[in-house]
Structure 1
Amino acid sequence: MLTIDGSMGEGGGQLLRSSLALSLLTSTPFQITKIRAGRARPGLMRQHLAAVHAATEIGRARTEGAAMGSTELTFHPNGIHSGDYTFAIGGAGSTTLVFQTILLPLLLGGKAPSTLTFEGGTHNPMAPPFDFLERTFLPVLATLGARVDIRLERHGFYPAGGGVWTATVHPTTELAHLELLHRGEVRARHATALIAQIAPAIALRELDTLCNLLSWEREDSKPTVVRHSHGPGNALLATIACDHVIEVITGFGERGVRAETVAEGVAREVARYLAANVPVGEHLADQLLLPMALGAGGTIRTVKPSMHCLTQIELVKMFLGLSIRTTEEAPDVWRIDVPSVVASRKS
């Protein structure tokens, strides 16, 4: 059994979610201790438990310690089982993070298509919004041979939640090699401000500020009023569409935070991405490491790897025995080379 220090690296929920995915795909039981030890509220929270329960269900796994506030968990996988599943996170817990926990197991280990329904948060701070999955992450996976269809039925903003969306995962025997070193020409730049049950003026202020700071054409960026939301919400999404990748950068409005402040945060991240002239943004980088390692490997160019990314690298080494190499090529320009576990086993 593999033992994992849950406080290593970024020390948060990603460490647990990636461990669950790798455990399912390698049939490796593990024990994780000190879960979220450095957080203000250590241990498993609702959305972390939702990821554990989802992995347990598709893996017919045996778990110990799967309870609110628990700082230790033992997970014994028992295969990967395709099927129709519904995962209700409760409140506004991130459904996209639960999806990413079980996506690769069902994609690479499933025997038949799986249909997944998620209920909960779709646009949460500290998690990829649905739009990022749809426009950025899944299109890159599609170039590797993955077929995953998703459809949003209702937005779910923090803190009310209530979002609903579905995914159909079609299993494949392998993922192709990924080489994403150049983004090509920037073909479009625009932003959308999602608003639900809040004043339209907030969206206009966000868009005005963002476009002014980035010198973007204002007429290309528009507000979107979200109907049928269970509660108020606001998300500002900036899209940079290039020849080889689409990057979506998001900021979330919250009570007490000025619209201009939300836009300034998004503008800083957009400016950093554009200045680095790399194809892979900070958040996409750590999400591509597992598909590359479990597939035919690959090489990407990105900004300086985040702690999330470095933690993924350590986990890949623990579960797969692969050493991922990071190389700084210029200020805030890094190359990441990922070997393939498939090629490693063949050799």
Structure 2
Amino acid sequence: MDDGETAPGRRGLGSGTGPATPVELDGSAGEGGGQILRTALSLSLLTGRPFRISRIRANRDRPGLRPQHLAAVGAAARLGDATVEGAGVGSSTLTFRPGPFAPGDLAIDIGTAGSTSLVLHTLYLPIALRADRAVRLSLTGGTFNPKAPSFPFLDRTWRHYLSAIGLDLALAMPSAGFYPQGGGLLEAWIEPTRGLPRGLVAVQRGRLVRISGVAGACKLDRGRVADRMRSRAATRLDEAGLDAGIPVEIDLADWPGPAPGAAIALTAEFDGEAAPASFVGLGERGKPAEVVAEEAVAELLAFLDAPGSGAVDPHSADQLLLPLALAEGRSVFTVGAVTEHLRTNARTIAAFLDRPIAVQEPEDGPGRVIVG
């Protein structure tokens, strides 16, 4: 197969090195965070197209590349035998030129409490669509992060969506990692797909049938922390006036890990098309356990009460765009709140792929996303 030719049955996937002229990206555009870089890395590995990104995270308190971004760049470079320029902490410009794709097992230590989930988001789709065997990733860093998906969200919500569109992976958290120490371990086993992902149609949320969850602590007295989080969450959910008969079941967990931390994850489960929607409250030094629980409950209730009842939660919406942009057939889903992350990811994907993505924001209902 010649360079640039699309593999049979795999829309938009290159076979090795792509065109010499890089895709030009402005890393400060839209949401302006690391998402632009992560999506670009994934698409570069998938299509063989090089890219150059400037003004990386220019609007952040600490602009430029951080260790978790460098971990994603380094891992992508290893998978794609890529040539990289500008890969340093604080760098505002990076050029990435992929070579022949050769996926294999990887062990990556971020070296900080940086998000293991965001590194996984960068790598899973190129591996799933281009590997010829299952690949194991071992990622060391943060597994509970205030500005990134935490492990319970990955396991209960993200993995459900991937399974629905034909992408199979297993996840485990042998060790929990909290800010600022990190040291957690996220393991993923990614199975190669046959062909492309399936399209997704999720326009109706369905009836709420259950709220489940887990309240956990690491190197803390579970009775003083996890029990209190669970108790306050159950009380707040009861006060919220949920429909009679909706069960609330929150487990307790003692997570292994190198440093103290606590979290509670609450998951709303529905009948019909919608996947479970998960929301996480994170503990920190000096923050009462009850406040942690109330934050998770407030986010869950805001989703349940959002006008128009979008089927997809706002955290999942932008994460679904990339696999659906490569999927067979048309995808349509509704979302209660259209975020800047969603808009930014749509623009980044459009820089690499000729695949229509429409993000509609009506005034009197949920947002609607149409891919294809």
Q: What TM-score do you get using the length of structure 1 for normalisation?
A: 0.92
Structure 2 SS opposite 1:213: helix
Q: What TM-score do you get using the length of structure 2 for normalisation?
A: 0.86
The one-letter code matched in structure 2 to 1:223 is L
- CA contact 2:53–2:94 (8 Å) conserved in 1: yes
Q: 1:292 Cα shift?
A: 0.4
| Partner residue, 1:317 | 350
2: CA distance, partners of 1:195 / 1:174:
39
1:270-329 CA-to-partner distances (Å, cap 9, x unmatched) read 112112322211110000000100112411111121111110011111111333112235
The one-letter code matched in structure 2 to 1:105 is P
2: CA distance, partners of 1:138 / 1:190:
16
The one-letter code matched in structure 2 to 1:70 is S
| Partner residue, 2:253 | 224
Q: 1:208 Cα shift?
A: 2.9
Q: 1:170 Cα shift?
A: 1.5
| Partner residue, 2:302 | 272
Q: Which runs of 5+ in 2 are unaligned?
A: 1-21
- CA contact 1:208–1:218 (8 Å) conserved in 2: no
| Partner residue, 2:90 | 69
Is residue 2:153 matched to residue 1:132? yes
**Inter-CA distance 51–332: structure 2 relative to 1 (3 Å threshold):** farther
1: CA distance, partners of 2:181 / 2:96:
31
Structure 2 SS opposite 1:268: helix
Q: 1:224 Cα shift?
A: 1.8
**Inter-CA distance 18–57: structure 2 relative to 1 (3 Å threshold):** same
2: CA distance, partners of 1:139 / 1:221:
19
2: CA distance, partners of 1:332 / 1:7:
30
- CA contact 2:338–2:361 (8 Å) conserved in 1: no
Q: 1:236 Cα shift?
A: 1.3
| Partner residue, 2:6 | none
- Farther off after superposition, 44-53 or 196-205: 196-205
Is residue 2:246 matched to residue 1:206? no
1:52-80 CA-to-partner distances (Å, cap 9, x unmatched) read 11111111100000011111100001132
Q: 1:233 Cα shift?
A: 0.6
Q: Which runs of 5+ in 1 are unaligned?
A: 340-347
| Partner residue, 1:290 | 322
1:162-173 to 2 correspondence within 5 Å?
162-172=183-193, 173=195
Structure 1 SS opposite 2:298: helix
The one-letter code matched in structure 2 to 1:309 is L
2: CA distance, partners of 1:234 / 1:318:
40
Residue 193 (structure 1) aligned to one of 215, 222, 236: 215
2: CA distance, partners of 1:219 / 1:54:
40
Runs of 4+ aligned structure 1 residues displaced above 4 Å come to: 216-219, 329-332
- CA contact 1:35–1:72 (8 Å) conserved in 2: yes
- CA contact 2:202–2:312 (8 Å) conserved in 1: yes
| Partner residue, 1:234 | 262
2: CA distance, partners of 1:219 / 1:240:
9
Structure 2 SS opposite 1:260: helix
1:31-63 CA-to-partner distances (Å, cap 9, x unmatched) read 101111111111111101001111111111000
**Inter-CA distance 212–329: structure 2 relative to 1 (3 Å threshold):** farther
* Count of residue correspondences: 338
Q: 1:212 Cα shift?
A: 2.5
| Partner residue, 1:343 | none
| Partner residue, 1:342 | none
1:208-267 CA-to-partner distances (Å, cap 9, x unmatched) read 3322222278972243222x3100011110111122411111111112333333223222
Q: CA RMSD in A?
A: 1.8
2: CA distance, partners of 1:207 / 1:138:
24
Structure 2 SS opposite 1:220: strand
1:187-218 CA-to-partner distances (Å, cap 9, x unmatched) read 21133211112243233332333222222789
1:145-204 CA-to-partner distances (Å, cap 9, x unmatched) read 112122222222222222223222121221111111123222211332111122432333
| Partner residue, 2:166 | 145
| Partner residue, 2:313 | 281
**Inter-CA distance 221–169: structure 2 relative to 1 (3 Å threshold):** closer
| Partner residue, 1:178 | 200
- CA contact 1:156–1:163 (8 Å) conserved in 2: yes
Q: 1:128 Cα shift?
A: 0.8
| Partner residue, 1:45 | 66
2: CA distance, partners of 1:130 / 1:175:
23
- Farther off after superposition, 68-77 or 79-88: 79-88
Q: 1:139 Cα shift?
A: 1.6
